[in-house]
Amino acid sequence: MKDLAKKTPVQAWYTGKTIFVTGGSGFMGKVLLEKLLYACSDLERIYVLMRPKRGKAPQTRIDDWLKLPVFKRIREEKPEVYKKLVPIPGDVTSDRLGISPEHEKLLIETTEIVFHCAATLKLEAKLKDAIEMNTVGTKRILDLCQQMKRLQALLHLSTAFCYCDKEVLTEKVHDFHHNPYDLMRTVEWMDEKALETITPTLLTPHPNTYTYSKRLAEMMVRDAYGKLRVCIVRPSIVCPANAEPVEGWVDSLNGPVGIMVAGGKGIIRSMLCNGEYNAEVIPVDLAINGLITIAYTMGQMAEMPPEIPVYNITCSETKRTTWKDVLDLGKATAYEYPFEAGVWYPDGDITMNKAYHTMCVVLFHWLPAYLIDFLMYCFGQKRFMCRIQNMVTEGLSLLQFFTTRQWDFKSYQYQAIAKNLTPEDNVIFTMDADAIDTKDYLRRIILGGRQYCMKEPLSTLPKARIQLKMLYVLDKVAKAFMLYLMLWLFLTITGLRAPVYEMLGWA
């Protein structure tokens, strides 16, 4: 063991620790595992709950992770620590997590820190699936943790948007008129068709099953407080990495990244969004640093507070960026670093006028989609554009609940953590969103989406810039033609075409 005097307090606390992580294969999960291995390399072991996927065994899946960009610095600088990542075959949707008696005993005897990150993030998920994964899955984790003999900290990952009926979301668990245990029993015995029928009524005031099931899970976690050293962590919209482990790293097109990519390729031309409202986003590396330091903070508590600790991982009130700022800066960045093979010039906009938005969707989303698919059909190629536009429409309808409301998150307890860290720990585990330049961060998001999601290397930027100029000319020509056509139709219908042409000398 290395000299503890050379470590920061956070690193020293993690030395020799055994950690259990659920949801390690997700976006935040991979960044959490990487940061723990890289910055707290003297930890004893990290057990990761894993299920076989596409015929691959859990160990094979973990071995494949090392090839990903997210683990680049581990691969190059500390490849030996990767051996501390050990899979535990299982699934949060299975009884007793689907783990073997031997592995269960191992976790009970050795685990000191638990990060429960597993969840279905699909906003459109069926209620039964969301409850089973997010609520029942949490109960199974709580049941296991209550048996752990050395547990010092259990962190339950929730969401900052789980209280849609609150104007101000403080760092506490609020009561709800639904009992999570009743809901778990209901989805167990009720047939799927009946459940789908009553789902809209059950969800009110929640917009989707994700926030609803997460709220129910929080109530169960609160009930377990007193028996467990547990806390609730609520990040807002988690976006690509700012600096670690790789600038702009992201592994899916969920959330704002998908909107930026679709907007950058000219697929999205209109979106319902209030430009004056705050964009509540947080870079994944800052959120993960928050998780790591929150566990450390809990470990320093001689006595737990009377109420369960809750931490809103959101931007401080001094770092607020509106959706309009994001759009304007994002457009400028997308023009400088364009995507390859866009379907149209990226010049979309946001609006709160539903009639105008609907008109734009018909004219600039669906008409081009049908035109492109018709041309693909004529040339004997596979049609795809209407299918993509369907996905975009569904995604936007789900997201507009969050972009048309003002959210007021209070994060005093979370912001206080950094104040109690040493300067060295504040550098290694930075949570300072104020220090991030918004324009620079948007560049990293776009380049990250370009490289890691669309697989478009930076070497194609010169070609993409030429394509963008061609799309710009095509856009202006098409708009001029449409304007002329509309004017011609108007003059023809009103009978003014002949006198106007005569006046202009075109007769």
Q: Determine the Cα–Cα distance for residues 158 and 134; give it in Å rounded to an integer.
A: 9
Residue 497 confidence (pLDDT): 81
pLDDT digits (tens, 9 = 90+) for 349-369: 999 999 999 998 988 888 888
CB atoms within 10 A of CB 198: 12
Q: Is the pLDDT of residue 4 over 70?
A: no
pLDDT digits (tens, 9 = 90+) for 21-79: 999 999 999 999 999 999 999 999 999 999 888 778 888 999 999 999 999 999 999 99
Kindly report the backbone phi and psi dihedral angles of residue 22, in degrees, each rounded to the nearest multiple of 5, phi listed first: -105, 150
Do residues 219 and 211 touch, judged by C-beta distance below 8 A?
no
Please say if the pLDDT value at position 196 is more than 50.
yes
Confidence of residue 2 (pLDDT cuts 50, 70, 90): very low
Instruction: For residues 291 and 113, give the distance between their C-alpha atoms in angstroms, rounded to a whole number.
Output: 11
- Report the alpha-carbon distance of residue 307 to residue 434 in Å, rounded: 29
Give me 171's structure tokens. Answer: 């760092």
How would DSSP label each residue in 155-210?
EEE--TTS-TT-SEE-SSPPP-SS-HHHHHHHHHHS-HHHHHHHHHHHHTT-SSHH
- For 405-460, the three-class secondary structure string (H helix, E strand, C coil) is CCCEECCHHHHHHHHCCCHHHHHHCCCCHHHCCHHHHHHHHHHHHHHHHCCCCHHH
pLDDT at 476 over 80: yes
For position 306, what pLDDT does the model report? 94
Q: In this structure, which amino acid lies at residue 225?
A: Y
Tens-digit pLDDT profile for residues 381-422: 999 889 888 888 887 887 888 888 888 999 999 999 999 999
Q: How far is CA 445 from CA 172, 226, 341, in A?
A: 31, 41, 19
Q: How far is CA 377 from CA 365, 367, 381, in A?
A: 18, 15, 6
Do 109 and 94 form a contact (C-beta atoms < 8 A)?
no
Q: What is the pLDDT of residues 135-191, one digit of tens each?
A: 999 999 999 999 999 999 999 999 999 998 888 899 999 999 899 999 999 998 999
Q: At what angle do helices 385-403 and 367-378 cross, to 10 degrees?
A: 160
Count of CB atoms within 10 A of residue 353's CB? 11
Alpha-carbon gap, residue 186 to 194, rounded angstroms? 11
119-143: average pLDDT: 91
Q: Are 130 and 120 in contact (CB under 8 A)?
A: yes
pLDDT digits (tens, 9 = 90+) for 77-119: 999 999 999 999 999 999 999 999 999 999 999 999 999 999 9
Q: Given phi > 0 = left and psi -120 to 50 = alpha, else beta, which region is 193?
A: alpha
pLDDT at 336 over 80: yes
pLDDT at 1 over 50: no
- Contact between residue 127 and residue 33 where contact means Cβ atoms under 8 Å apart: no
Assign domain 9-249+279-319+406-431 to a CATH class: alpha beta
- Give yes or no for residue 3 having a pLDDT over 70: no
**Hey, how many other C-beta atoms are within 10 angstroms of the C-beta on 484?**
10
Query: Whole-angstrom Cα distance, residue 241 to residue 213?
Result: 27
Q: How is residue 368 annotated by DSSP? A: H
What does pLDDT average to over the chain? 91
DSSP string computed for 228-289 = B-EEEEEE-EEES-SSSSSTT--S---THHHHHHHHHTT---EEE--TTSB--EEEHHHHHH
Write the pLDDT tens digit of every residue in 220-279: 999 999 899 999 999 999 999 999 999 999 988 877 888 888 888 888 889 999 999 988
More confident residue, 458 or 341: 458
Within 10 Å of residue 454's Cβ, how many Cβ atoms?
16
- In the chain, pLDDT over 70 holds for what percent of residues? 99
- HEC sequence for 39-60: HCCCCCEEEEEECCECCECHHH
DSSP assigned state of 312: E
Calculate mean pLDDT across residues 277-299: 95
Q: What is the pLDDT of residue 5?
A: 60
pLDDT for the residue 156? 98
Beta partners for residue 396, in sequence order? none
Question: Is 45 exposed, middle or buried, given 0-12, 13-18 or 19+ CB atoms closer than 10 A?
Answer: middle
* Chain mean position to CA 442: 15
For position 98, what pLDDT does the model report? 94
CA distance 259 to 267: 9
The span from the CA of 194 to the CA of 210, in Å, is 19
